[in-house]
Amino acid sequence: MKKYAIIIIILFTSLLSAQVMQNKEPVDLPASGSKFLSDQIIVQGLYIRTLGNFNKVWTSGSGGYVSYGMFFPDHNTLNFQIGYIDYELQEDLDSLNGSLYVIPLLIGGKYFFIDSRFMPYFSFMNGINIINQTISFEVEVDADGNENIHIDDTLGDETLVRYAWQVAMGIMINVVGGLNLDLAVKYNAHFYHAEAMNTGFEYGFGLVWSLNK
């Protein structure tokens, strides 16, 4: 499965490179004008703190995203995003030697509240997660209403495809020319099992290259 993940990421990066080549010549700004916003390439690192029943098995995740944002005047971008997220087991489950990683393929948009050197924004993304896991778990409720986690570590290598969405608040800060910093806090709702949604808060830090600037 990992080799397919690498292939997908290489293909996505190649598409981004092709788009950059198409945009290497300056173009006229829209009539409304834009001081800092344009088409963007975003590279972002992330850390996720999981919540709920999912957190009882997988405590946190880390990884990164590569995104392309298509600018629409005056304050919007349409974003295409691919990433890789690796999750960590709870400490008392380390002996299971299980693994779970996710390749998110998302599409959505950002709304920038102002076009200035400091640009706060709201974003919404949704799409699919390609999940690879070597252990699984279920949540059962007993007669007294107590939830019990049952872990299956005999799966081998299993792949799932699930819907995912996230909302975020962030800020993009122009450093110089077309180079920007990006800071964001996101809430993730990644479908996993009905009784154990992969929800959590995600913290991101990255670099944004504004094309045609």
Q: Taking residues 98-121, what's their average pLDDT? A: 95
Output 92 or 120, whichever has higher pLDDT. Answer: 120
Decide which of 194 and 186 is more confident: 186
Q: pTM of the predicted model, to two decimals?
A: 0.79
Residue 19: pLDDT band (50, 70, 90) is very low
pLDDT tens digits for 30-77? 433 577 889 999 999 999 999 988 998 999 999 999 999 999 988 999
**Helices assigned H by DSSP within the chain:** 2-22, 52-55
pLDDT score recorded for residue 98: 87
Q: Buried (b) or exposed (e) across 6-39, using 16+ Cβ within 10 A?
A: eeebeebeeebeeeeeeeeeeeeeeeeebebbbb
CATH architecture for residues 2-20+38-210: Beta Barrel (2.40)
